[in-house]
Amino acid sequence: MDEDTSQLEPSRLGTKTHWDSVYSRELSNFIDTGDEGEIWFGEEVVEKMVNWALDHISPISRPYILEIGAGNGTLLFALLEAGFESTRAVGIDYSADAVRLARAIAERRGLSGVLLLECNFLSQSPPKCSGQEQEWDLLLDKGTYDAIALGEKDRQGISPAVGYPARAAALLNPGGFFLITSCNFTEDELKQTFATPATGLLYHSRVSHPSIRFGGKTGSMYTTMAFQKPHLAP
Ligand SMILES: C[S@@+](CC[C@H](N)C(=O)[O-])C[C@H]1O[C@@H](n2cnc3c(N)ncnc32)[C@H](O)[C@@H]1O
């Protein structure tokens, strides 16, 4: 069992009821005012994740991209607007109104072809793109693992987040990347959770964020890291 994820106390941010009410409100706002809703962690984090992707994966290689817990789709749409192919991109979320909101935003931005679907990452297999035979080349997570780690523990005290790393790793093609931004976990904690013999993932790189000083300690508000599934031996 992963120790770090089990240490977080459950909160409403780890419940589907919370996200359903957030996106029901954001969907109504979008319909009334055209506001796309909250950009989780802010625009700079989105920009840094997109730049990381552009630096390490060429859009010309036509990667298959899956965002886990895509919310209003801001990150996925930023990648598509940066040149990645919409017919090879899928965003899943377990909140139906998040999916409705993301679809409405995609339509307004003229991003056709991207699949946005209701799916619980912990219990369902994400749908694939039309014609996709292999797994994914890039998995994205911005705040979803954080939310899952705040979910209610089971009777044995095990966090729902414990199953996440292996599920994510199994969805990657050899050579594929998992790019995550968290506000709850440090770099060491993410490494301990995702770069393990059980996942087979290796730490690849990190993205710097401005550091803050709080309580005599210096750290970043966000952690963005990339892990890679090793290429198959020739
Ligand atoms: C902090 S929000 C981030 C949303 C989006 N990634 C963004 O950056 O705007 C967490 C998201 O994870 C989704 N989520 C939480 N648990 C999930 C699960 N088990 N399966 C799919 N989506 C989940 C929530 O509905 C919510 O959209």
pLDDT at residue 76 in the model: 98
Ligand 1 closest atom vs CA 38: 9
Name the closest-CA residue to atom 14, ligand 1. 69
Residue 234 is assigned to a structural domain of this protein = no
Does some domain include residue 233?
no
Structure tokens at 94: 């377990």
Please count the structural domains in the chain.
Answer: 1
Is residue 52 one of the residues assigned to a domain?
yes
Does the CB atom of residue 75 touch ligand 1 within 6 A? yes
Domain contains 157: yes
pLDDT in tens, the chain (234 residues): 444 566 788 999 999 999 999 999 999 999 999 999 999 999 999 999 999 999 999 999 999 999 999 999 999 999 999 999 999 999 999 999 999 999 999 999 999 999 999 999 999 999 999 999 999 999 999 999 999 999 999 999 999 999 999 999 999 999 999 999 999 999 999 999 999 999 999 999 999 998 877 677 777 899 999 999 999 988
> What pLDDT is attached to residue 178?
98
DSSP string, 9-63: PP-GGGSHHHHHHHHHHHHHHHHHH------TT-HHHHHHHHHHHHHHS-GGG--
To test the ligand 1 pocket, which listed residue (11, 12, 16, 19) has its Cβ within 8 A of the most ligand atoms? Answer: 19
Domain span at residue 85 reads 3-228
Q: Which amino acid residue places its CA nearest to atom 27 of ligand 1? A: 71
Residue 30 lies in a domain: yes
Domain containing 204 — which CATH number? 3.40.50.150
C-alpha span between 6 and 184 (Å, rounded): 12
Q: Whose CA is nearest to atom 10 of ligand 1?
A: 144
